[in-house]
Each structure stands twice: as C-alpha cells, then as structure tokens.
Amino acid sequence: MISSTLSIHAWFKRKQKEKETPYVRERLDIPGNLWVKCYKCGQAIFNKELEDNLKVCPKCGYHFKLSANERIKQLTDNGSFKEIDPNIQSKDFLNFTDSKPYGKRIIETVAKSLLKDAIVCGTAKIGGQGAALGIMDFSFMGGSMGSVVGEKIARLIELAIEKKLPVIIFAASGGARMQEGIMSLMQMAKTSAALGRLRENGLPYIAICTDPTTGGTSASFAMLGDINLAEPGALICFAGPRVIEQTIRQKLPPGFQRSEYLLQHGMLDIVCERKQLKETLTKILGWFNEK
Amino acid sequence: MKNKESSDFNNLTPLQIVQIARQIQRPTTLDYINCIFTDFVELHGDRNFGDDPALVAGLAKLDGCSVAVMGHQKGKSTKENLARNFGMANPEGYRKALRIMRIAERNHKPIISLIDTPGAYCGIGAEERGQAEAIAKNLREMTELTIPFVTVITGEGGSGGALGIGMGNRVLMLEYSIYSVISPEGCASILFRDAKRANDAALAMKITAPDLLKLGVIDEIIKEPPGGAHNDVQQSASNIKSAIIKHLGPLLSLSQRELIADRYNKFRKMGFFSE
C-alpha cells in the first residue's frame, strides 16, 4: 500500500503487515534509545538508520511524524530558513479549564516542546528558490489551530504577497483548538481569507497534508492549495474515523481517509514519498517561477 | 406566572440555551424565508453531484429588492428531519450555496444567509466527495464576494458547517441561539472525557450570543419573543427582518473594493495572543 513496487515475498507477507494500526496509538515522542519500534509494521529499527532514512521506516515505508525543525532541516537549503514572528504566544482569554487550566497547559507545553505554538513560519530556499514556508508541529497540543496558528499563517501569507513569494504550508493537526472556543473556528475564516488575497495577487500556494490533517485545518488552508500534496498514509479528513463510526454505526472501509484514498477521490494532486518531496517541490516551484 | 417565566428566562444556563436553540418547534430557515422575504424561488443542485435538502437556497425579494437567500434546513418531525438530514449539509449543499452566491454577485444582489445546523454531515459519502474541500473553498470564496452579505444565526451555529455559509460582512444572532467550534457534548467527551459534562463545556466555551458579542464574533443580538422564537414566529421574523435591513443599509453604499476589505478586516482581526 505504501510502496508501489512490492517484491513477491513482500506481497505474500503483506496481509499481516498491512493490519492498520489505530490512529490513537501513534505518538511523536520516539524514545531516545538506540532502537525504535515501527508503529505500522512493528519491526525494530536502529534509530540512526531511521534518521538517515528521513524518519521513514526502511522496512515498511511508514512515515513517522516530523517536528517542524526536522522538516526544515530535511527540506530547506542549508541555512536558508529565516523564521518570522517567533514570539507570538497563545493566551487563555476564555479562562478555559479542562483537566488543567489552558494557561498552565500552554506554559507546560512550551517548556516541554521548546516551541511557542503549533506552527513555525519563515522564508527559505528550496532547491535555490525562495518560498514562504509554514510548518505545523503535531507535538504542540496535537497541532491544534488556535489564534496563534491562524495569525502566523495570515502574516506569512501577507509577507509572501509583499515579497512576491509562493507559499508552502505543511499541515499536521488534529483540528481546532477547543480551549480557544469560537476563536479557533474564526481562524479557519482568517487563514482562508488570506489565501484568497494571495490568489488575487497571482501567487501560488502549495498545501502539503501530513499525518494527520483533520477538522478545522483540512476544512480551511490545508485543502486550498493550487496544488495539494500529501505524504503517504496520512490521515486526512473533515470528521475523524471514530466520529464517523459513531454517527453511522458501520465499520469503515480499509484505507478510508488515508492519502491514497483522497488521491483516488480527486482531492489531492500527488501522494509524495518523503525522499522525493524536496525534488518534487523544487520542480513545482521551478514551473511557477519561470518568467 | 408570566413574571416568573420571564425572570427564569433571564437566568438560563448556556446548556439551557443550547436546548432552546435545538428545540424541534423552533422556526426553521424556510419558516423565516416565508415570513421575511417575498417571491422566493428555491433553486436546487450543485451541478456536480446532486441536490442537498439540508441546505436551501434561492432568489427572493427583501422589501421589494432582489437578494439571494440561503440557510440550513431542519425538519419539524422525525420523518421530515430524516429527509432534511437534521440540517446537516453534505458537500453538495455547500457547493450549491456557493453557486448561488456567485449568481448574486454577478447580478450585484446582496446575500442573506441563515444558520441553523448541528454541523456539516460526518459520513462516508461526505468525506469521499470532499466535505473539507467544499467548506474550505466556500470560506475563501466568501471573502472575495463583491456584494453586501449579512449572516443571521437563528438556531445552532455548528462549527465549520455553520461557518461554511456564514462569513457575512455582518453576523447577527438570535438571543437564544448558539455558535460554537464543537457541540458541548463533543467538547465534554474529548476534553473532559465524559459527555455528561456538557454543561461545563457549554459554560467554558462561551457559545451564547452575549459572550460572542463581547468576543467580537457577532455584531448584534436580535431579541426573541418571550419564551423563545417558536412562541411567536411572526414577531421573531419581523425582528430579524428589521435587523437585516438595518445592517444591510450602510453596506449598500460601500464600493466593491470596500466590501471585500470590510469582510477581510473583520475576520483578519479575530484572535487573541501575546507577542
């Protein structure tokens, strides 16, 4: 399912390998040990080997989640990334408390993740070509979109208009940040409005869905690319599989809402393996940049 | 008795307001269209896949002036609700709405949208046909409309399903309606891991009209008749009508460019953060 070229042996083994791991069991925090167990095929992988392979399982091709910084390192030309708006931070304006107060949750997450919120934005060069780049990080509160993510994306797009740059955004998000209530919904409007303006200015936007891209993110900027890309096997949906199962009380078909399924249904242009991503983006940017 | 009733109504909890907003007797979009507009011609279909009975749209006259009107349609009985999918639109509903918005725009007519939905439909077909893309596209295209656009939340403003036709230059809200990123039950089951704590979730999320006015998400609260909109549909419709006309007036004098800028700035400034 992941790799298009399967050997005969792999084909026979496929059945047991392809058992889908439920989405909930996936975690970004890979233990800092020598060995890592692949979430999909369950095989032990030497950590160094996994890093060298861009965090894609060398055995089954499963794409591990990347942090924003790992993504920047893998994708952008050496030292070309210049971050913008690094200091915008979330605020608990509703006095929202679930299992702990939102304000406390922000402080703890910032300390743990060394990120200020769930997206890192900046300008960079990819294959020698300039772009405005936004990269979401799932490890920060499930990549949820609140005021900060919305604001940073809007500013990124406005900067791109000013500097006449194409925009590339990597989505990795569980959806809206419920702790910000209605304001998280309004970020969908804000980011989509900014993309409308980008389009009026004749600048391209490339959206890249990574695992997972759901809810408020998919129903706004993540699905609005002139070109929509996705990494293999990513969960991309409006409503999550559990919500749908509870609504319709049926088992969902295998592969439902994964990248390959969306490609089949016309929602994506390309499902692109991580090792080909830089080259593909370089080609696409090159096409747009020709004067 | 009447006094007691009205004082009870002044002290409703957010969850009680949710219950009023969801009441099956609450006037639906078509009830309001019949009372507020004349010469309504309903239009059907998205020209791609089908027609969505959960979202109605068409041409109408408001005080003698041509407008486009659209809104989510719930049923008044279980049978009708099944036919209307409880007001939960599929992608073709959002695409139909956009098609009709574009007709209005090409002919320089204002748009009125009425919001009353638990949310966009969550089903296999909806996902296959691109629910996320349909809503996302509407959000982007609504910001580019060159005509005046007023949104009224009349019942449940359920998340992306509501916002999908809800990016007016002005957003108004009936007194006992709600607007939220997720249902209180959904929020409770995710964040509190207990759907029974919907009351806490409703309180925490700030989903009632006065709270949303304070947050700057809506522009005006429209009064409802004593006991709620269903007690006097005519009165409630007439309140909505005057509010729409009041807010449409100033918008009519704006240029196309100003209308786009007005809508962009409205949503651009939403959000709270520190820097």
Mean pLDDT for each consecutive 10-residue tract of chain B (275 residues)? 57 93 96 98 97 98 97 96 97 98 98 97 94 98 97 97 98 97 90 86 94 97 95 97 97 97 97 94
Please list the ranges in chain A whose pLDDT falls under 50. Answer: 1-3, 21-22, 24-25
Contact A178 B132 (CB under 8 A): no
Question: Closest Cα partner for B32 from B249, B212, B247, B222?
Answer: B222
Chain B nearest C-alpha distance from A228 (Å)? 11
> Which pLDDT does position A3 carry in this prediction?
45
> Which pLDDT does position B195 carry in this prediction?
79
Of A89, A94, A189, the CB nearest to B139: A189
Residues of B in contact with A234 (CB under 8 A): none
Whole-structure pTM value: 0.91
> Which pLDDT does position A1 carry in this prediction?
42
Class for the domain spanning A65-290: alpha beta
Q: Tell me the count of A-B CB pairs closer than 8 A.
A: 182
Q: How far apart are CA A48 and CA A51, in angstroms?
A: 5
> Which pLDDT does position B104 carry in this prediction?
98
Break chain A into its structural domains and give their ranges: 1-64, 65-290
Chain A nearest C-alpha distance from B142 (Å)? 8
> Which pLDDT does position A12 carry in this prediction?
64
A174-204, pLDDT tens digit by residue? Answer: 999 999 999 999 999 999 999 999 999 999 9
Contact B204 A265 (CB under 8 A): no
A136-181, pLDDT tens digit by residue? Answer: 999 999 999 999 999 999 999 999 999 999 999 999 999 999 999 9
Give the A window 17-56 contacts with B, CB below 8 Å. none
Torsions phi, psi for B88 (to 5 deg): -100, 110
Characterise A128 by phi-psi region: left (phi > 0), alpha (psi -120 to 50), beta (else).
Answer: left
> Which pLDDT does position A30 carry in this prediction?
53
Contact B181 A266 (CB under 8 A): no
> Which pLDDT does position B8 carry in this prediction?
67
Alpha helical stretches, state H, B111-225 = 124-128, 131-143, 159-163, 184-191, 198-205, 209-215
Closest alpha carbon within chain B to A265: B128
Of B122, B143, B267, the CB nearest to A243: B122
> Which pLDDT does position A290 carry in this prediction?
86
Question: Closest Cα partner for A112 from A76, A50, A67?
Answer: A67
> Which pLDDT does position A246 carry in this prediction?
81
Residues 6 or more apart in contact with residue A187 via CB below 8 angstroms: A145, A146, A147, A149, A150, A151, A153, A176, A216, A220, B270, B271
A158 touches chain B (CB under 8 A): no
Contact A181 B140 (CB under 8 A): no
